A and B are shown apart, each in its own frame.
Chain A
Amino acid sequence: MRIERQEPSLLQVFRARMRVMAALMIRELHTRFGRENLGYVWLFMEPALLGVGVALWQWAMQGSAAMPGNLNKFSFFLIGYILFYLFRTLVSRSPHGIAANFQLLYHSRVTVESVMWARSVLDGAAVAICISIFLVLIGLALGDWPSDPLQIVLGVVLMMLLAHGTGLIFLAATALNPGIVDKIVHPFTYLSIPFSGMFYMVWWLPGSFQEVVLLSPIMHIMEFTREGQFGTRVPYTYDMSYMLIWIAAVNFIGLCALKVAKPHMEH
C-alpha cells in the first residue's frame, strides 16, 4: 500500500517550526528552572541580582560624583550589565548547548538550529522583561523614565542576534575541536568586557580610543540601547548598518560552520 502525501506548503512548514520552537522553550524552562520553589523567578533573578550588584557597587565606588552628562547611575549600569550578561551567557553556554540536550535530537523534528534558537529567544525574552521591570522601578523611584522603550527592546533583540550567531560559531568549533574551544570561549567573553561599553560611553573617550572601541559591534548596540533610555541628553555613537552587517555575518558564518560540523557531532 502506498500513501501519497502532498508537499507541505510554506505556511505549514513555518507553523510546524514555530510549534517545535514553542515546545522546546517550554521544556527548556522546565529543565532549567523546575517548577518548585522560586522556579521560573530565577530566570529573571539571575541577571537582575548581578545587574543590581554591579550598579550598587558602581554607585558606592563613585560616591556622590556625578556621571558624565549627569546620567542616572542605576539605569546606566543596569542596562550596561544586563545587556552584556545576555551576550556573555548565550556565548559561554553555546559550546555545550547541544551536549546538554542531546536527547532532544532523538526527535527527528528537532534540529540543532531549533534547539539553539529556543535558548537564545528564551534568554533574550528574560533579559528584555528583566530590563523592563528595572526601568519601571527606577522610573517610579527616581523619576528617570526611558525616552524610547521600543528602542531598548530593539537593542536587546540586536544583542540576542549577535550573541546567537557568535554562539553558533563556537558550537561548531567545539564539535570540530573540543579541546581548544574551551580555552578560547571564556577568555573571549572576559576580553570582550572592555569593548562592550558596559562601564562607559564612547563620547567619554579621546578620539583615537573611540575608533578602536567602535570596531566592536557590542559597543554600537550598547550605545543604541542607552539612547533608548537617555534620549537626547548626551551624544551617542553607533552605526546601524555596521551592527546589521556584523549580525548577518556571524549568523551566516555560524550556520555554514554548523553544516560542516554536524557530521562530527556525537551523541
Chain B
Amino acid sequence: MLQLEGVCKSFTKNGITREVLSGIDATFLPGDAVGILGRNGAGKSTLMRILAGVEQPTSGKVRRKMSISWPMGYDAAVHGALTGADNTRFIARLYDRPVGWMEGFVQEFSEIGEEFRKPVKTYSDGMKARLIFALSMAVDFDCYLIDEVIAAGDARFAERCRQALLARRGRSALILVSHQTNTVRTLCSHAAILHEGRLIFHEDLDQAFAEYEQL
C-alpha cells in the first residue's frame, strides 16, 4: 500500500513561494493501475518524486508499505560514471537480488550487448532508458512509477515495455503520469486528474478523459 495524506509541496525561489501540490490524498493498492493526467506544469514530476521518496512533502504524510520503483522516465536512477554492470550490481545489492543472475537478466532484457561493460554516460538515450527499465523489471517491485517512458525510445522497445507492464498488472501496482490520454488507456484501469495542486480520481476512464480535455 502507498498512501498520501494531505500532501503539500511548495518551492521557494528568490523569496517567492509557489505551491505545487496543495493537499493530496490518495491510496494505491497492489494491483491498481492508475493513470495520472496533468497538463505541463501541473506538478506531475513533483508528485512522482514525492511518491518515490526522492523529495519530502512540505507538509502531510506518505506511507509506504510496498516496494516502490524509482520514477521511470528520468535517468537519475543510474550513475553515469559507473558501467551498466556496476550499476546493476549496486541495485542488486540494494534490493537483495542475486548479483550474477541480475547481471545476466539485465544484459539480455536491455539488449545493450557489450556496451553493458562501459560507463553509462557513453550510452545513447535509448540505451539508457532500456537499461533502467530492465533494472526495474529485474528488481520486481510491488509498485511501478512511470513517467511517460513508453513514449520515449524506439517503437519496438516501447512495445516490449508495454507487454512487460501488462504482464504485471494485477500483481504489481502501476502509477503512470502522462499528459496524453492514449498511454493511460492502454495500461490503466482508472485515472486521476492533477489540476491546480489537487488530485481527483475517476473510476471511469472515459469520464476522466472527457474532463481532462475540458481543462
Contact = CB atoms under 8 A, between A and B. Distances in A.
Given A2-B31, A5-B65, A107 B93 contact: no
Nearest to A104: B79
B58 interface: yes
Interface stretch (B46-54, B108-116, B174-182, B191-199): B46-54
Contacts of B95: 109
Interface class of chain A by DSSP: helix
B56 A108 contact: no
Nearest to A22: B93
Contacts of A103: 76-79
Contacts of A19: 93-94, 96
Nearest to B29: A2
Contacts, number: 80
B11 A266 contact: yes
Given A31-B81, A266-B11, A106 B52 contact: yes
B89 to A, nearest CB: 8
Contact of A1 (B56, B82, B170): B170
Interface in A1-33: 1-3, 5, 16, 19-20, 22-24, 26-27, 30-31
Contact of A263 (B53, B58, B76, B86): B58
A102 B53 CA distance: 12
Q: Which of A27, A30, A106 gathers the greatest number of chain B CB atoms within 10 Å?
A: A106
A266 B76 CA distance: 14
Interface string B124-137: 00000000000000
Contact of A107 (B31, B81, B94, B142): B94
Contact of B30 (A3, A16, A23, A267): A3
A193 interface: no
Contacts of A138: none
Q: Which of A1, A22, A105, A108 gathers the greatest number of chain B CB atoms within 10 Å?
A: A108
A263 B57 contact: yes
B67 interface: yes
Contacts of B68: 108
B70 interface: yes
A110 interface: yes
A106 B9 CA distance: 18
B159 interface: no
Classify chain A: how many residues form its interface, as a range: 20 to 34
Contacts of B59: 263
Contact of B90 (A23, A105, A108): A23
Contacts of A5: 65-66
A262 interface: yes
B70 A107 contact: yes
Given A22-B93, A103-B77, A108 B29 contact: no
A1 B79 contact: no
A267 B11 CA distance: 12
Contacts of B81: 31, 34
Interface in B32-64: 49, 52-59, 64
Contact of B53 (A2, A22, A105): A105
B66 A106 contact: no
B116 to A, nearest CB: 16
Nearest to B66: A5
B93 A1 contact: no
Contacts of B79: 27, 31, 103
B76 A109 contact: no
A79 B6 CA distance: 53
Given A5-B66, A31-B82, A108-B68, A20 B94 contact: yes
Nearest to B8: A263
B74 interface: yes
Contact of A106 (B12, B76, B171): B76
Contacts of B142: 3
A184 interface: no
30 contacts: A1-B171, A2-B31, A3-B31, A5-B65, A19-B94, A20-B94, A23-B90, A24-B94, A26-B90, A27-B86, A27-B90, A30-B90, A34-B81, A103-B77, A103-B78, A105-B54, A106-B52, A106-B71, A106-B76, A107-B70, A107-B77, A108-B64, A108-B70, A109-B95, A262-B56, A263-B57, A263-B59, A265-B56, A266-B55, A267-B49
